Structure 1
Amino acid sequence: MKILSIKNIIAAFILAFSIIYSLPTFFSDVPDWLTSINAKKMNLGLDLKGGVHFLMEVDLDEVTSSKSKKLSSDLRSQLRKEKLRYRNFNYQSKSISIEFFDAVNYKKAEELINNTYQNTFEISRNNDNQMLLSISEKTLNELRIAAIKQNTTTLRNRVNELGVAEPIVQQSGKTRIVVELPGIKDTTRAKEIIGATATLEFKMLDEDSDPYAAEDLNENSFNSKLYYYEETPVLLKRNIMLTGENIVDASSGFDQNNRPKVDITLDNPGAKRFSEVTDENIGKQMAVIFVESKAEQRVIDGESKRISKKYEKIISIATIQERLSKSFQITGLDSSDEARKLALYLRAGSMAAPMYIVEERTVGPSLGADNIEKGKISVIIGLILVLVFMLYYYRVFGLFANSALIINILIIVSIMSLIPGATLTLPGIAGIVLTVGMAVDANVLIFERIKEEVRNGSTPLASIELGYKKAFSTILDANITTLIASIILFIFGTGPIKGFAVTLSIGIISSMFTAIILTRILADTVYENNTNLKVTKLNI
């Protein structure tokens, strides 16, 4: 009797919990006391609330190209710093060819590369003094994985700037990312913020070369590249002092002259590097470059291909007056709107690789409302049919099952409303409908077992005890196998499939409680005290 009392207390607590936390979903006006205990409406997915869906393709070839270029630049600087002499230094897509003056320089360079760039390069020797460096496949794979993760994180940060409730940003396959924004109305702005791959680069001006001569020859030198600032040619050194990857915070505003500005805060490694470089170049000019990659359709060899093109624009050139460190500001922006956008991109983080939209779907609010209505009707019809059947076929025990079924739905709704990031989708409603059938399936097994025990001559109370006991292992096995399947769907599925898996998993676990424990409590409450109970009075 003591164990039964504990069961009753637990059941009463779960019942009260499910009713309280499911109330906001079923009623439009939520009292303040419910809000104070974090009771809120269940979040609706894109197909129910309306919104926009993007499928983004990540350009991983650009990642490897950029990484190769950076490694090439770093390696050249390292060789110069260590005063290792070479005749030629040629960089290609994923390889670097270096011809050294002699075998001594070759040997020292090999030791430097092995110590500094462990497992990054595969080294081969063409002749006595020529070294061929190829980026290892392991490094390339790690780079691709990191690029997808960084882009996913950056997209989440940018979506948060849009103020969207419960967005979905997740990887789909090896090279794609799914973005779903329920309730979004300004799709143009959403596309602009999500699709932009903007960042900053800081470079020193090449003040020893003539930009006008480079313009006349229409070619770049080995150490510098031609740009234009306010229609005037300027030469910038190829070495990048700092990139947007080192920026941890950015905010827009106005300076003392009422010009748009962006206040920048760097991370510790970026601040250290920036401090050293600016200290070495006091009195020299530095340029801030806005870099953005855009996808374009081009016909190559008779086939239409999507390529990523990089656009670079100098937004300011300033003379370094003193050593700069962790915090500084950027001016020279065209408008306050441009300053806000730049601050948003920098605050959200830079993209590791350019992306472009390969699929876009918009679900209108009216279509979402129609889906909600159809979903309600399907759940109600399914519920009524099951309730009528159970009540007709199992009488009083059918009433127990029906009560447990309704509580099971309340538990699903209350848990879904509490889980951070959980959203109800149309497939999620299908999962609830499936759970309705599975919940009563357990009760059917139990009730048929009870009938069988009655036919075998057991007393009514013994029949109830044995019915629940013997059916338990079968119910447990069936629910565990279904739960495993739903977990696999959640792990490997995307979007709507995850929504189905979530509601199904919650429904399976809650149905185990309602079908086995709750109906048993109801049966014991009704029949336990009647020791003279006849078989016919079981009403089953």
Structure 2
Amino acid sequence: MVQMSRWKVILLALSLVFGLLFSYANALTPAQRESLPGWLPKPTLNLGLDLQGGSYLLLQVDVSAMRDKRIANLNEDARQTLSEAQVAVAGIVRDGNGVVITLSNPVQMEPAVTAMRTLLGGGMAVASDRTVTRQGDNRIRYAFTDAAITAMGPTAVDQSIEVVRRRIDSLGTREPSITRQGAERIVVQAPGESDPTQLERVIGQTAQLTFQMVDVENSVQEALAGAVPPDAELLMGEDGVTPYLVKRRVIVSGENLVAANVTTDQSNQPAIGFRFDGQGARRFGETTANNIGRPFAIILDGKVISAPRINSAITGGSGIIEGSFTIASASELVNLLNGGSLPAPLSVEERRSVTASLGADAVRAGQLATLIAFAGVLVFMVLSYGGLFGGISVIALLLNGLLIIGAMSMTGATLTLPGIAGLILTLAMAVDANVLIYERMRDEANAGRSPIAAMDAGFNRAMVTIIDANLTTILAALIMFWFGAGPVRGFAWTLSIGVVTSVFTAVLVTQVLLVVWLRLRRPKSLPIAS
């Protein structure tokens, strides 16, 4: 027999409270939400790029350039290590995923191999990502493993996504969507960001900060003529005019940077304060102590910002970077440095912007489509099952919509135009359970069973079909959410929430309201019997 258990009534009341509590903020203005007491939840639906307007960028991660740089670093590591071991080197050339070192004297092969293996840790010939192997009597190959080269691509994309997210957050953009597309591409959607040029500038700057010694033993003019020493590189100053010859070996890099902030120099001009971690502070302190009176270069993205002279050992691990900064440029650079450097350069493959007015038009169109869908369902249910049973299904549908909005607001989900399509589809599917239950009741009533028996059979025998139909739908939605990206995931997320809430409301709300009607009216037959 159909029973109205107390727990069902309590669950229905709690669901109504939940829907109202997490949905009401969407009907308020930002000022009204701010004026509410702090203990009240204030989550709202986040509108996607297509509804709110904003900027869209498709970025290509230059994995090849990153791999080339990593292999070039092997060259410098080998040169520095063998120099410290006092092993004479005739030449170092690139070979595939690594470098081949040619020794001047084959007699030094054993100490050279021993020194090179210290780079791998533990003195072994093979590390998890690099190998050291002999080639003949006077050659050593130092290279990345194939697995390490393969892993560099996915790792670089994952790291780039996190760096891009931190940089966009520094702009104050709300709920950006940053997703992978394919193997080496990133899609960035920044709702509310009206200036794609600024977004592109902040995202695309590599922000690789390094501290390197200036080469004072060799002539800059000779380097400009083409005679660049193998352990040095020729870089231009920030003004694009002044050349600098600097050692390739990096003393400290941005990876050792703990924090950066905007400050002022001795002339009260904007400058950038920095602080290193323990390892960076130690290396910086040792280098400055051993090179008093010599200049060192502060390099950002391949340009020398400044090249101050070391007057004393800098052991505190902190200092300031002086340059021709403004407050705005210093703040932007600080945000980039605090956000971390990109592991690989990014190039913009596609850019477009959606205006706020176009987004508002999409919202109005979505609202109209939802209202039309709701009206269509209302008319169909009332015409098919009468005012009572059709009206009860509509009440369940209203609570269903309230729970969907509440759940999406609570989870911080982003509503997109495809998400609205998922919401409309959910409204149409939500009454499927009611149709199955009502049709079963109708069959039982026409077979001569009592109203109570017909209602009991309608709910019990239709549940298997309801669960089966909605389970396949939610599995399809989960597959779309797992493998999809952007709008596809928005559609899948809205559909998943809608399936769960529609089954809940269609069964529970309908059952509770029909039992109340049954107890109050005690009918001799069901109104839907034909």
> Which shifted more, 507-516 or 254-263?
254-263
- Secondary structure in 2 aligned to 1:39? coil
Alpha-carbon distance in 2 for matches of 1:154, 1:491: 23
1:259 CA drift (Å): 1.9
Q: Which letter maps to 1:168?
A: S
For the residue of structure 2 that corresponds to 1:317, the secondary structure is coil
| Contact preservation (8 Å) 2:81, 2:115 | no
1:104 maps to which of 106, 110, 134: 110
Alignment equivalent of 1:58, drawn from 50, 55, 61: 61
Once the two structures are superposed, what CA deviation does each residue of 1:72-103 show, in whole Å capped at 9, x if it has no partner? 22233233334445443223563211223235
- CA distance 1:265–1:106, change in 2 (3 Å): closer
For the pair 1:535 / 2:500, whether they are aligned, the reply is no
Give the counterpart of 2:407 among 415, 423, 448: 415
What pairs up with 1:458-473 in 2 under 5 angstroms? 458-473=449-464
Match of 2:97 among 88, 94, 97: 94
CA-CA distance at 1:388 after TM superposition:
1.0
Q: Which residue of 2 aligns with 1:148?
A: 157
How far apart in 2 are the matches of 1:199 and 1:501?
38
Match in the other structure for 1:313: 304
Contact map agreement 2:113 2:140 (CA 8 A) in 1: no
Q: Could you tell me which residue of structure 2 aligns to residue 296 of structure 1?
A: none
Q: Does 1:524 align with 2:515?
A: yes
Give the drift of 1:188: 2.2
**Are the structure 2 counterparts of residues 521 and 67 from structure 1 closer, same or farther at C-alpha, using a change threshold of 3 Å?**
same
Greater shift, 500-509 or 252-261, is seen at: 252-261
Corresponding residue of 1:488: 479
- What does residue 69 of structure 1 align with? 72
Aligned equivalent of 2:343: 352
CA RMSD in angstroms comes to 2.4
Alignment partner, residue 265 of structure 1 = 275
Q: 483-492 or 84-93: which moved more?
A: 84-93
Contact 2:261 2:272 in 1 (8 A): yes
Where does residue 164 of structure 1 map in the other structure? 173
Equivalent-residue separation in structure 1 for 2:92 and 2:433 (angstroms): 73
Give the stretch that moved more between structures: 22-31 or 339-348.
22-31
Q: Aligned runs of 1:79-478 on 2, under 5 Å?
A: 79-92=82-95, 94-100=97-103, 101-102=106-107, 103-105=109-111, 107-108=113-114, 111-112=117-118, 115=122, 118-122=127-131, 125-215=134-224, 217-229=225-237, 233-291=243-301, 311-395=302-386, 396-420=388-412, 422-478=413-469
Once the two structures are TM-superposed, the CA of residue 35 in structure 1 deviates from its matched residue by 6.5
Listed one character per residue, the Cα deviations across residues 387-415 of structure 1 (whole Å, up to 9, x for unaligned) are: 11111211222211110011111111111
Aligned partners of 2:460, 2:305: CA distance in 1, in Å? 77
Secondary structure in structure 2 of the residue aligned to 1:220: coil
Deviation at 1:109, TM superposition (A): 5.1
Query: Following the alignment from structure 2 to structure 1, what is the Cα–Cα distance between the partners of residues 289 and 466?
Result: 73
CA separation of 1:384 and 1:234: change in aligned 2, threshold 3 A? closer
Distance 2:3 2:511 in 1: 15
3-state SS in 1 of match to 2:351: strand
For residues 328 and 42 of structure 2, the distance between their equivalents in structure 1, rounded to whole angstroms, comes to 38
Change (3 A) 1:527 1:284: same
Aligned mates of 1:287, 1:21 — CA distance in 2? 55
Deviation at 1:536, TM superposition (A): 4.1
Deviation at 1:279, TM superposition (A): 3.1
Q: CA offsets per residue over residues 488-520 of structure 1, 9 Å max, x none?
A: 111221111111111111101111110111111
Percent of matched pairs sharing the same residue? 33
Distance 2:425 2:9 in 1: 28
**Deviating more after overlay: 312-321 vs 141-150:** 312-321
Q: Which moved more, 1:79-88 or 1:178-187?
A: 79-88
Deviates more, 1:352-361 or 1:444-453: 444-453
For normalisation by structure 1, the TM-score amounts to 0.89
Rounded Cα–Cα distance in structure 1 between residues aligned with 2:511 and 2:3: 15
SS at match of 2:279: helix
Following the alignment from structure 1 to structure 2, what is the Cα–Cα distance between the partners of residues 2 and 333?
Answer: 79
Per-residue deviation, residues 17-53 of structure 1 (Å, max 9, x unmatched) = 2123222323547464477412243211111111111
Give the secondary-structure state (helix, strand or coil) at the position aligned to 1:507.
Answer: helix
- The number of residue pairs the alignment matches comes to 518
Q: Write the distance in 2 (CA, Å) between the matches of 1:477 and 1:219.
A: 76
Secondary structure of residue in 2 paired with 1:128: coil
Quick check: 2:433–2:466 contact (8 Å CA) kept in 1? yes
Give the SS at the match of 2:415.
coil
Q: Write the distance in 2 (CA, Å) between the matches of 1:484 and 1:526.
A: 36
The answer on whether the counterparts of 1:333 and 1:339 sit within 8 Å (CA) in structure 2 is no
Q: Deviations over 1:56-79 (max 9, x none)?
A: 110000110111112222233233
Cα separation, 2, equivalents of 1:35 and 1:379: 32
1:11 alignment counterpart: 12
Cα distance, 1:236 vs structure 2? 1.2
Q: Distance in 2 between matches of 1:403 and 1:234?
A: 75
Q: For the Cα contact (< 8 Å) 1:274–1:325, is it kept in 2?
A: no
Distance change (3 Å), C-alpha of 1:380 and 1:539: farther
2:191 maps to a residue whose letter is P
Distance, in Å, in 2 between the alignment partners of 1:318 and 1:336 is 25
Q: In 1, distance between residues paired with 2:114 and 2:216?
A: 33
- Which is further off, 155-164 or 84-93? 84-93
Indicate how the Cα distance of structure 1 residues 232 and 385 shifts in structure 2: closer, same or farther if over 3 A, else same.
closer
Measured against aligned partners, the alpha-carbon deviations of 1:449-468 in whole angstroms (never above 9, x if no partner) come to 11222233332112211211
Aligned residues of 1:253 and 1:336 also touching (Cα < 8 A): no
- 3-state DSSP of counterpart to 2:343: coil
Q: Is the 8 A contact 1:199 1:345 kept in 2?
A: no
Q: Secondary structure at the match of 2:308?
A: strand
Q: TM-score, normalised by structure 2?
A: 0.91
* 8 A contact 2:212–2:298 mirrored in 1: yes
1:11/1:34 Cα in 2 relative to 1: closer, same or farther (>3 Å)? farther
Q: Aligned equivalents of 1:195 and 1:235: distance in 2? A: 26
Rounded to whole Å, the distance in 2 between the matches of 1:356 and 1:127 is: 42
Question: What is the CA–CA distance in structure 2 between the aligned matches of 1:39 and 1:228, rounded to whole Å?
Answer: 52
CA distances 1:260-302 after superposition (whole Å, capped 9, x unpaired): 21011223332333233333333332110121xxxxxxxxxxx
2:524 partner letter? K
Q: Following TM superposition, by how much is the alpha carbon of 1:242 offset from its aligned partner in structure 2, in angstroms?
A: 1.6
